[in-house]
Structure 1
């Protein structure tokens, strides 16, 4: 299997964390995509993923799987180890819900802020920007920080007692927030403590 990505970017980090949690890093090869030179928008790459985004998983039979949640779903079922997406119907539903909230309320909101309200990746790559929309999404991210801090006052992890893909998504989102200078308020102590706990996991080492 191959994974087309950019090491250090937030969405590729999600997939790499999932692989590490499943002890499957050695089961794939990574193909670097030069986003800064627009390689992700080339005809060859768009043929793999019409959304022109990384990461993309290529299976041995030639199937291409894009979207982090779909890639991690595949990884979770293809390899032994802890369950990242849940086993029972209730677990799977709650994890899916919290993963989507982490994505929309923090990761995607921060990404929109970065690409619209800042210089982003530069004029050559940021071909359209709506600063007002970007600022609103920055505010949404701040609301997301509060929401998850409140959740973590009673939960060990986002979806309950067990680490899951929801935690991976939020962790990557907070890393992107650092890069975009969207700060977590100091009073959100539960969120800050949770982040430190996740950062200490072997998959991050």
Structure 2
């Protein structure tokens, strides 16, 4: 198995945490993609993922799987250890719901802010920017942090009692927010405490 990624980027971080949670990091080969020089837009890479995004999982039979949720689904089923996707029908549904909310309400909103309202990855790669849209998404991300603070006031993890893909996605979103200079307000005490606890997990602290 191979993982094509860019180390320390938010979406690749999600997969590296998932692998570490399953103690499977040594079971894959990481291949660095030179994103800053446009490797992700080459014909060779687009054959792996036509959406030009990282990470991409390549299986031993030549199958390519992109999208973090799909890759995590594969990792969760392929390796032993606590499930990241849930076991019961209810647990799987709640985790799926909360992971989607973490993705759309925080991570994707932060990404849009970064790529449109800041210098992003630079003029060579940011060939189109809509600053007003980027600012709007930045505000959306800031507002939605309150929602997750309220969730974590009542729950140990984002989707219940167990650490899951929903926690991984939200954590990556907060890492990206910090990189994009979107600060977490000090009054979001539950979110901040959760972030500190996740950062201390061996799967995260060891990256």
Shorter-chain TM-score range: over 0.9
Aligned position for 1:197: 197
Question: TM-score if structure 1 supplies the norm length?
Answer: 0.99
Aligned position for 1:32: 32
In the alignment of these two chains, the number of paired residues is: 205
Aligned position for 1:73: 73
Residue 152 (str. 1) matches residue 113 (str. 2): no
CA–CA distance in structure 1, aligned partners of residues 84 and 17 of structure 2? 11
Aligned position for 2:119: 119
CA–CA distance in structure 1, aligned partners of residues 202 and 164 of structure 2? 14
Which runs of structure 2 are paired with 1:1-205 in the superposition (5 Å)? 1-204=1-204, 205=206
CA RMSD, Structure 1 to Structure 2 (Å): 0.4
CA–CA distance in structure 2, aligned partners of residues 68 and 15 of structure 1? 7
Cα offsets for 1:100-147 (capped at 9, x unmatched): 000000000000000000010000100000000000000110111100
- The structural deviation recorded for 1:148 is 0.1
CA–CA distance in structure 2, aligned partners of residues 201 and 32 of structure 1? 25
Question: TM-score if structure 2 supplies the norm length?
Answer: 0.98
Local SS of the residue matching 1:152: helix
Cα offsets for 1:45-68 (capped at 9, x unmatched): 000000000000000000000000
- The structural deviation recorded for 1:74 is 0.3
Local SS of the residue matching 2:31: strand
Local SS of the residue matching 1:30: strand
Unmatched segments (≥5 aa) in structure 2: none
CA–CA distance in structure 2, aligned partners of residues 71 and 140 of structure 1? 27
- The structural deviation recorded for 1:69 is 0.4
Cα offsets for 1:66-114 (capped at 9, x unmatched): 0000000000000000100000100000000000000000000000000
Unmatched segments (≥5 aa) in structure 1: none
